[in-house]
Chains A and B, each alone.
Chain A
Amino acid sequence: DGGITQSPKYLFRKEGQNVTLSCEQNLNHDAMYWYRQDPGQGLRLIYYSQIVNDFQKGDIAEGYSVSREKKESFPLTVTSAQKNPTAFYLCASSQSGPGRNTIYFGEGSWLTVV
């Protein structure tokens, strides 16, 4: 089945540790995205990538890093510099280029700092 797979579903991090959230898609989409959801704040864009080996900062990129070495994969690293990392993280993908391209989401990953 085609889709977007995020792992792990639940992750606990100690203060000062970096953690990496995995995102894989087999939809042959060019563009991939990472969003963060906090209560009452909707979905905020962290990073996005329109093409392999290229990515841009979103609205809240500080304390995060990404890579896009393969079309199918867009891992997100939450670094110790992120002051409030506890949140629900959503990976998404879409076709790229002109047109009304709908974004499709993965199931999400819960990150909790302990």
Chain B
Amino acid sequence: DQQVKQNSPSLSVQEGRISILNCDYTNSMFDYFLWYKKYPAEGPTFLISISSIKDKNEDGRFTVFLNKSAKHLSLHIVPSQPGDSAVYFCAARPPGGKLIFGQGTELSVKP
């Protein structure tokens, strides 16, 4: 049972435009959500997080939105840059529990 789902395995965006990566979850007990970025043959790096008491968190070009009623999380990257090309994982955690990762979405930003 996949509790965290990234339904788009890949996304292609033009440089300078907005990239929107989506993530859905099923467990309403999740209270902390994170996005990680991963280049090939490297470990994931933490990008941005949001707790369930908020609906938006922004850090530079990256903004995460949380819609608790829809159990939906999204990451917006504006403007997209070629260096943003990577696999993006969303993850969620229930209180005191372990992180559960989605399957990842591969973002390709074309110049």
A residues lining the B interface (CB < 8 Å): 4, 6, 35, 40-45, 48, 58, 88, 90, 92, 98, 100, 102-108, 110
B93 shortest CB reach to chain A, Å:
8
Q: B104 near A100 (CB under 8 angstroms)?
A: no
A-chain residues with CB within 8 Å of residue B31 when the two chains form the complex: 100
Q: B9 near A107 (CB under 8 angstroms)?
A: no
- List CB contacts (< 8 Å) of B92-108 with chain A: 93, 95-96, 98-99, 101-104
Q: B41 near A102 (CB under 8 angstroms)?
A: no
B residues lining the A interface (CB < 8 Å): 6, 9, 31-32, 34, 36, 41-46, 49, 51, 89, 91, 93, 95-96, 98-99, 101-104
Contact of B104 among A42, A58, A108 (CB under 8 A): A42
A-chain residues with CB within 8 Å of residue B98 when the two chains form the complex: 45, 48, 58
| A–B pairs, 28, beta carbons within 8 Å | A4-B43, A6-B43, A40-B103, A42-B6, A42-B89, A42-B103, A42-B104, A43-B101, A44-B101, A45-B98, A48-B98, A90-B43, A90-B44, A92-B43, A98-B95, A100-B32, A100-B49, A100-B51, A102-B34, A103-B34, A103-B46, A103-B99, A104-B46, A105-B36, A105-B43, A105-B44, A105-B45, A108-B41
CA A77 to CA B99, docked complex, whole Å: 22
